[in-house]
């Protein structure tokens, strides 16, 4: 969904920003800013409906890299990864995210590059309050803005590192500016023109605060394809956050099995079958894990249950049963 950036030098970024802020300031009075208005309303009176502090600044714990020519995406990614403890520079991730022919970085590549660094990368809900909640939780947020006009878009990644709701300010690592304050309503306009795209990349032990559980599970599954151990940490965190999630326990069991840790796989799959006793896949995976521990009697009991339940993976269950039988014949 995210478009690549036009090529911008540091001076060009300053120039475009100055024009954008001036134009946006003139438009704000005439244009609605529903997200900013909702955030302001949440802080009025005695009830804070957002459940966050009125101000937060992560600047001291987020490294800064100037967004030089062709490094808009790589620089923002390096800053966010650096905040999680990764020692990353824009040059080290540029090849992963920058598309030379288009002079920019696309959103899928930004997410994929973060996962290759062992981080849980998640696209956020397209809401200003979600961005603020993540910052309040200690997670800097990469946002895509259009600093140009509808007829001449200039796509630009920034990192939200703070906010001050009473003052109506968003703090950004943006272009050549390490700590730029932008009025929230102006930010809303530039961000809205990008489709309100935002992402976080966190240590997998600390999943982000705002995405739905299904979104986090999808992100953990995507991480599993490139870094099983990191995904295992993410699934473990999700089972603590949502102990009643069958999918989280299945992910934890599958990742443990891939890491040659059948004992923890058995524990996870037992929780999965307890949550969904009619889930044949969970019984099959439990049987395979028990087989890996050479617990053949328990493995036969589990695979028998899977075979009785049946389903689209019945052939796989029969294969597991044959492997258990073969193990019993091996001296």
For 10-202, give the CATH class. Answer: alpha beta
Report how far residue 120's alpha carbon sits from residue 205's, in angstroms, rounded to the nearest whole number. 9
Averaged pLDDT score across all residues of the chain: 88
Domain ranges in the chain are: 10-202, 213-329
Note the pLDDT of residue 3. Answer: 43
pTM of the model: 0.88
Mean pLDDT, residues 260-272: 98
Note the pLDDT of residue 2. Answer: 39
Mean pLDDT, residues 155-171: 95
Backbone φ, ψ for residue 50 (5° rounding): -80, -25
The percent helix, strand, coil of the chain (3-state, each to 5) is: 55, 15, 30
Backbone φ, ψ for residue 75 (5° rounding): -70, -45
Whether the predicted pLDDT of 14 surpasses 80? no
Q: 103 or 133: whose pLDDT is higher?
A: 133
Whether the predicted pLDDT of 69 surpasses 90? no
Mean pLDDT, residues 222-245: 98
Note the pLDDT of residue 330. Answer: 75
Note the pLDDT of residue 4. Answer: 41
Whether the predicted pLDDT of 71 surpasses 80? no
Note the pLDDT of residue 166. Answer: 93
Structure tokens at 282: 């969970």
Band (pLDDT 50/70/90 cuts) for residue 9 is very low
Q: By three-state DSSP, how is residue 152 classified?
A: strand
Long-range contacts of 37-45 (CB under 8 A, 24+ apart): 38/128, 38/129, 39/128, 39/129, 39/132, 39/165, 39/184, 40/165, 40/168, 42/129, 42/165, 43/165, 43/166
Band (pLDDT 50/70/90 cuts) for residue 7 is very low
Note the pLDDT of residue 95. Answer: 67
Note the pLDDT of residue 100. Answer: 54
The label of the residue with tokens 């001291």 reads 60
Report how far residue 160's alpha carbon sits from residue 195's, in angstroms, rounded to the nearest whole number. 16
Structure tokens at 293: 């521990």
Q: By three-state DSSP, how is residue 324 classified?
A: helix
Per-residue pLDDT tens over the stretch 22-53: 444 444 444 678 999 999 888 775 556 788 99
Per-residue pLDDT tens over the stretch 134-154: 999 999 999 999 988 777 888
Note the pLDDT of residue 98. Answer: 62
Note the pLDDT of residue 15. Answer: 47
- Asked if the domains at 10-202 and 213-329 fall in one CATH topology, the answer is no
- Least confidently predicted of 23-27, 271-275, 298-302, 315-319: 23-27
Q: 259 or 1: whose pLDDT is higher?
A: 259
Decide if 186 contacts 116 (C-beta within 8 A). Answer: no
Per-residue pLDDT tens over the stretch 174-201: 988 899 999 999 999 999 998 999 999 9
Q: Could you give the maximum distance between any two Cα atoms of the chain, in Å? A: 83
Note the pLDDT of residue 105. Answer: 67
Mean pLDDT, residues 155-169: 95
Band (pLDDT 50/70/90 cuts) for residue 94 is confident
Q: By three-state DSSP, how is residue 55 classified?
A: strand
DSSP 158-196: EEEEEEETTTTEEEEEETTEEEEEEEHHHHHHHHHTTTS
Note the pLDDT of residue 45. Answer: 59
Mean pLDDT, residues 308-316: 97
Pick among 1.25.40.10, 3.40.50.2300, 3.20.20.120, 3.40.50.300: CATH of 213-329: 1.25.40.10
């Amino acid at each position: 969904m995210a478009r690549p950036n036009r090529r911008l030098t540091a001076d060009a970024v300053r120039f475009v920003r100055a024009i954008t802020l001036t134009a946006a300031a003139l438009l704000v009075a005439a244009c609605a800013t529903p997200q900013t208005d909702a955030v302001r309303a949440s802080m009025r009176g005695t009830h804070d409906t957002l459940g966050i502090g009125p101000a937060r600044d992560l600047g001291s714990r987020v490294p800064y890299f100037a967004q030089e020519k062709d490094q808009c995406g790589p620089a923002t990614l390096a800053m966010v990864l650096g905040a999680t403890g990764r020692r990353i520079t824009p040059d080290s991730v540029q090849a992963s995210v920058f598309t030379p022919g288009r002079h920019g970085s696309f959103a899928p590549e930004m997410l994929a590059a973060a996962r290759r660094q062992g981080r849980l990368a998640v696209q956020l809900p397209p809401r200003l309050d979600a961005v603020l909640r993540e910052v309040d939780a200690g997670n800097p947020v990469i946002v895509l803005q259009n600093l140009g006009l509808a007829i001449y878009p200039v796509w630009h990644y920034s990192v939200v590192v703070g906010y001050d709701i009473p003052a109506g300010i968003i703090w950004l690592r943006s272009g050549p500016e390490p700590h730029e304050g932008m009025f929230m309503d102006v930010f809303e306009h530039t961000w809205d023109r990008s489709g309100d795209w935002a992402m976080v990349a966190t240590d997998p032990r600390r999943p982000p605060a705002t995405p739905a559980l299904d979104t986090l599970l999808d992100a953990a599954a995507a991480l599993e394809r490139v870094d099983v151990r990191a995904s295992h940490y993410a699934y473990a965190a999700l089972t603590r956050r949502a102990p009643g999630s069958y999918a989280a326990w299945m992910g934890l069991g599958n990742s443990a099995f891939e890491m040659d840790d059948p004992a923890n796989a058995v524990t996870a799959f037992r929780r999965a079958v307890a949550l969904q006793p009619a889930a044949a896949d969970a019984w099959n995976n439990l049987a395979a894990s028990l087989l890996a521990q050479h617990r053949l009697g328990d493995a036969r009991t589990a695979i028998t249950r899977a075979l009785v339940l049946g389903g689209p993976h019945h052939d796989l269950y029969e294969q597991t049963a044959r492997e258990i039988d073969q193990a019993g014949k091996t001296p």
